[in-house]
Amino acid sequence: MMGEFELIRHYFAAAACARAGGDVALGIGDDCALLALPAGEHLAVSSDTLVAGVHFPDPCDPYLLGQRALAVSASDLAGMGATPIGFTLALTLPAADPGWLSKFARGLDAMAAGCAMRLIGGDTTRGPLSMTLTVFGRVPAGQALLRSGAQPGDLLCVGGALGDAAGALPIVLGEREQGTAEAAALLRRYWLPQPQLALGQALRGKASAALDISDGLLADCGHIAAASGVLLCIEQQKLPLSDALVRFAGHDQALQHGLTGGDDYVLAFTLPAEQLPALQADGWSLHVIGHVAAGTGVQLLNADGQAITLASQGYNHFSG
């Protein structure tokens, strides 16, 4: 039977993403990794735990799971405007299955390469399948994107289409067939989210507030509104919805997914209006979906500017 340290050496320490270099002065092999931050930069750190049956179906394709697990964690760095450095992985497994481990490690390595991140440590233990990833990045002092800077008059923007991952959930759970082009497109958004790291870095010094959308647009905009002490007004007709989602789920359900569905992992941010033209000229595909006003909370508006009330604001682990 493969022991803990042999498992780590064989499947993870030998991976391409585990090599030291760049901002990683010392990687896997000692009690701690060593990170070398440039002068004048802050370390950005975030942790995410994914539990089988809660955050992903069990069983599922371990290669896709490895990619998704790192992507959703790296998205927090994007929300802060941070440049990625590395990550740690604490993996709990019911058994050391070589086939599962090999595929999971390859998926993890593929996403690490795409995000320019290095595996710098972690832990393995036996128990119900779950994983905790801690990601590390760097950002120039004073330039991190926070949730607390939105000002009345700012634009409210998102970095891409909303609701695709929520639309894919019935397929992931086996409740709907997946043999269509629309289903395939939605599944890609669920299993292979692309952290908007470059966009986050481009927003440094421009956006007044930002975060990544993980629990649904309305719920996550509520975090910006609370931290900034403002009202975020979302114009329902301006929500970017993909053609695949609308064809697959119908317009009304697609709209609901876009407002309250989780797992989008695109950025939501507030932006002084004068900053928009330069970002668009640089080729960023930004969607203006509303504005910031005096007040508190989040308000959804219809085409006539009238407030709409929704029963659900988004995902909450501990809601009834």
Statement: the pTM of the whole predicted model exceeds 0.85: yes
Alpha carbons 265 and 3: distance in angstroms, whole number: 35
CB 276 within 8 A of CB 210: no
Query: How far, rounded to the nearest angstrom, does the alpha carbon of residue 1 sit from its chain's CA centroid?
Result: 36
Average of per-residue pLDDT values in the chain: 91
CB 234 within 8 A of CB 221: yes
Tokens of 215: 């629990």
All domains of the chain in start order, with CATH: 4-140 (3.30.1330.10), 155-308 (3.90.650.10)
- Say what angle helices 62-80 and 181-191 make with each other, to 10 degrees: 60
Task: Give the residue-averaged pLDDT of 28-52.
Answer: 92
Query: How far, rounded to the nearest angstrom, does the alpha carbon of residue 127 sit from its chain's CA centroid?
Result: 26
Task: Give the residue-averaged pLDDT of 264-287.
Answer: 96
CA diameter of the chain: 66
pLDDT band with cut points at 50, 70 and 90 for residue 320: very low
Task: Give the residue-averaged pLDDT of 225-245.
Answer: 97
CB 154 within 8 A of CB 292: yes
For the stretch 67-82, pLDDT in tens is 999 999 999 999 999 9
CA angle 272, 276, 279 (to 5 degrees): 130
Alpha carbons 219 and 190: distance in angstroms, whole number: 19
